[in-house]
């Protein structure tokens, strides 16, 4: 915990239209206690400008993904420069849906991290194990492999917020218990201390993601190594304010 500022990310995924977004912006502008908590929301790419121009300037806006080069023949993708051109300063990379629905590999995600940082974006890289990996006792093996691909590509950790999202708990209404989540976060800090350095291990904010909701957020927020949440579906509902204010 220490000096790590609590961080709440809202990943809207492929949801929303302008009318629904207006409602979300209204409750965020009204209810989010942004002085004590860093809040960042990630709308679909086509709404980045719409959201950024209407949302409280203290709330960050993130893209949900981007590519590893500045421009070119990459139909359907966006670059860090485009995200910045819409006055947004964050990007989520390596989300489990990008890995498992769209087939992005560790190497590509690492390259994206390197390029986004080089271009001046802040990044929220995601790692997580599937149910069969957890049941086979391979959680740390999988996470550390994913971490290495990211860490090998990061020079400036001050622009990174890591998200641990167990794949088995995303959109399944299964949540890792606060103890399970804390255990993984502790192991990740140990890995960082051994493979990066003690300062990064101490200062890096590690978020928990995976069916976080208004009902379980306060218990999770009490754990010393959980520095916030990356929230999916619940970030589209007014309950999101309860999550944002989980540590108040």
pLDDT digits (tens, 9 = 90+) for 8-25: 999 999 999 999 999 999
Residue 129 is a catalytic residue: no
Mean pLDDT of the chain: 96
The yes or no reply on domain 6-244 and CATH 3.40.50.1980 is: no
Q: Which of 28-37, 61-70, 88-97, 107-116 has the lowest average pLDDT?
A: 28-37
Set 104, 129, 133, 165: catalytic member? 165
| pLDDT-based confidence at residue 1 (cuts at 50, 70, 90) | very low
For 105, residues 6+ apart whose C-beta sits below 8 A from its C-beta are: 99
Q: Span 158-187, mean pLDDT?
A: 93
Each residue of 41-77: pLDDT tens digit?
A: 999 999 999 999 999 999 999 999 999 999 999 999 9
Tokens at residue 145, please? 């492999």
Please provide the size of the chain in residues.
248
User: Can you tell me the distance from the alpha carbon of 172 to that of 188, in angstroms, rounded to the nearest whole number?
Assistant: 24
Set 95, 104, 111, 133: catalytic member? 95
Residue 2: per-residue pLDDT? 54
Residue 183 is a catalytic residue: no
Q: Model pTM?
A: 0.97
Residue ranges of domains in the chain: 6-244
Q: Span 111-120, mean pLDDT?
A: 98
Residue 173: per-residue pLDDT? 81
């Amino acid at each position: 915990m220490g000096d790590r500022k609590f961080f709440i990310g809202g990943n809207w995924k492929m949801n929303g239209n302008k009318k629904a977004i207006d409602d979300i912006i209204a409750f965020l502008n009204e209810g989010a206690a942004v002085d004590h908590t860093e809040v960042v929301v990630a709308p679909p790419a086509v709404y980045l400008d719409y959201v950024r121009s209407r949302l409280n300037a203290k709330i960050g806006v993130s893209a949900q993904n981007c590519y590893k080069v500045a421009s070119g023949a990459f139909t359907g993708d966006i670059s860090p420069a485009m995200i910045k051109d819409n006055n947004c300063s964050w990007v989520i990379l390596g989300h489990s849906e990008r890995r498992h629905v769209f087939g992005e590999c560790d190497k590509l995600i690492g390259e994206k991290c390197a390029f986004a940082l080089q271009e001046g974006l802040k990044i929220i890289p995601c790692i997580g194990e599937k149910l069969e990996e957890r049941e086979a006792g391979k959680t740390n093996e999988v996470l550390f492999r994913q971490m290495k691909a990211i860490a090998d590509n990061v020079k400036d950790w001050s622009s990174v917020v890591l998200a641990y999202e167990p794949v088995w708990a995303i959109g399944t209404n299964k949540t890792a218990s606060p103890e399970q989540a804390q255990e993984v976060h502790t192991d990740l800090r140990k890995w960082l201390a051994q493979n990066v350095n003690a300062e990064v291990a101490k200062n890096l904010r590690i978020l928990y993601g995976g069916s976080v909701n208004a009902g379980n957020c306060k218990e999770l927020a009490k754990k010393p190594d959980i520095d916030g949440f990356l929230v999916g579906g619940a970030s589209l509902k007014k309950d999101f304010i309860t999550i944002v204010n989980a540590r108040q």
